Every structure is written in C-alpha cells, then in structure tokens.
Amino acid sequence: MTDGALDPLRSTGQVWGVLRARPGPMVAWWGGGTLFGVCLTGAAALVDLPPKQEPWLYMAWFGALLLGGIAWRVGLARVLETALEPGAGRPGGSFAVRFLNVCATLVVLALALLLVSLPFVAALVLLLQVDEPRPLLQATLLVLWGTVLLHVALGLSLAPFAAAVEDAGPLALLLRSWRLARRRRLALAGFWLATLALSLSGLVALGVGVLATGALLHLLPTEAWLALRREAKVEPVT
C-alpha cells in the first residue's frame, strides 16, 4: 500500500508548485548553493587538492563544502516550510538554530549507526581469527548486519531533514523520525530509491542537468517530513 506522504511524485509536484509560487527565494537558494559548490570544487581542481604536503587544506575545503551544503539545505527547507505551512507556528524559524540542529543531528545519527554496527564488526573480527573458515556463518552475519542497519537507517533517515524545519534537538528529532517511520519502512525504502533516481536524472544531460535535479535529494525528503507531520496530526517540535 502506498503511503501518501511518502509518494515521491506527490512530493515532486509540491516542490514544483513552490518553485512556481515563490521562484525568487527558491531559485536564489537553489542556484546560490549550486554555484557555491561548483566554485569550491573548481578551486580545489585548480590547486590540485588534496595536497599531500598540507592535508589541513583538504580538511578545510571539505569542511567548507559540508557546512555550505548544510546551510543550503536549511535555506531550501525554510522556503518550503513558509510556502507549504505559512500558519505553522514559526514558519522559517531561526536559521542559526536549525543549521546547528542539522549539524548535531547528522553527528548523532552517524554515532547511532556506528553503535548498531559495532557488535557485528566485533563478531566478524572474532570469526576471522578462527583457524577454520566459516563462510556460511560470515555470510549470515553480514546479511543480518545489513538488515539491522537498513532497518535502523530507514527509521532515522528523515531526522536530518526534520532538523531543518523543527526547533528541537537531535535526540527528540531522531525519536520522532523513528515513531513516524513505524510500519512505513517499505514505503520509505521506495521513497528513497525514487528520490535518488530523480535527483540523479540530470546525469542523462551529460551530467550538467544534475546541477538542477540534485537539490531534489534535499527538497523531497523535507517535503515528505512536512507531509508526514500533517498526516500524523502532530505539532512541530519546539
């Protein structure tokens, strides 16, 4: 059964509607973020990063790209939120708070996935120390690891996008993402596959089109979160 809030075609239509209704803010963030990434990548190519002698330059470049991408995501989310939910509490919210929330949520999410993986990694390391190879047991452990990791990742996958439209800390957002993902894992898997396909569809235009479609990887999950929030009839976390 298709989950309406997690229908990528519906989300795409909503994003397109916001683009037509508010072309100025959307194009400004969409184009500005893309231009920033292109310029930063071009600069890296000119100076031949990563430099072997000074790795801190590469770290600074990567940090600037990452933080710029997060700011881009928050800006796009603010445009979506103010257009789709103009009466929802504090539409647009505080840019600084939400920027920090996205950063913190990404860190906590990475730690959560690492903690889930540790027991499986430890078990695999122990199996590799055994003199007699046990390929069937190793394969079973790998499949189990992948299954558990996918289950957890899907349940928490919308939290970083929720952070861009919620004034709350990472733990509260991860918990809400987990709750809203209940009985929606299959729909979430389909949604992410379709979203990835749509965001990469610009590659057919010799790669240039991905500059336009790449933002869908951030816009569609954010819109889906807003739709899930409305569907579950829950108020924004504050």
Question: What is the pTM for the complete model shown?
Answer: 0.85
- Burial (CB < 10 A; 0-12, 13-18, 19+), residue 211, is middle
Summarize pLDDT for 96-150 with one digit per residue, the tens. 889 999 999 999 999 999 999 999 999 888 888 876 777 888 889 999 999 999 9
pLDDT confidence tier of residue 1, bands split at 50, 70 and 90: very low
The more confidently predicted of residues 205 and 202 is 202
For the segment 27-54, the average pLDDT, to the nearest whole number, is 72
CA angle 134, 137, 139 (to 5 degrees): 105
Q: Which pLDDT score is estimated for 110? A: 96
Q: Which residues contact 90 (CB under 8 A, 6 or more apart)?
A: 167, 236
Helices (H), ranges, the chain:
8-21, 23-46, 55-84, 95-129, 135-156, 159-162, 170-180, 185-199, 210-213, 216-231
Confidence of residue 186 (pLDDT cuts 50, 70, 90): very high
Separation between Cα atoms, residue 82 and residue 222, nearest integer Å: 12
Question: What confidence tier does 220 reach under pLDDT thresholds 50, 70, 90?
Answer: very high
Going by C-alpha positions, the residue among 172, 177, 30 that lies closest to residue 101 is: 172
Rounded Cα distance between 234 and 24, Å, is 30
Mean pLDDT score across all residues of the chain: 84
**Half-sphere exposure at residue 152, Cβ-oriented, CA atoms within 13 angstroms:** 15
Cα 170 to Cα 87, 97, 104, 107, distances in angstroms: 24, 12, 6, 9
Question: Is pLDDT at 95 greater than 70 in this prediction?
Answer: yes
Hey, what are 227's tokens?
A: 């739709």
Q: CB neighbours of 196 closer than 8 A, spacing ≥ 6?
A: 217
Judged by average pLDDT, the poorest of 128-132, 185-189, 208-212 is 208-212
Predicted local distance difference test score (pLDDT) of residue 91: 55
Q: What is the reported pLDDT for 48? A: 62
pLDDT exceeding 70 applies to what percent of the chain?
84
Burial per residue of 185-201, b for 16 or more beta-carbon CB atoms within 10 angstroms, e otherwise: eebbeebbebbeebbbe
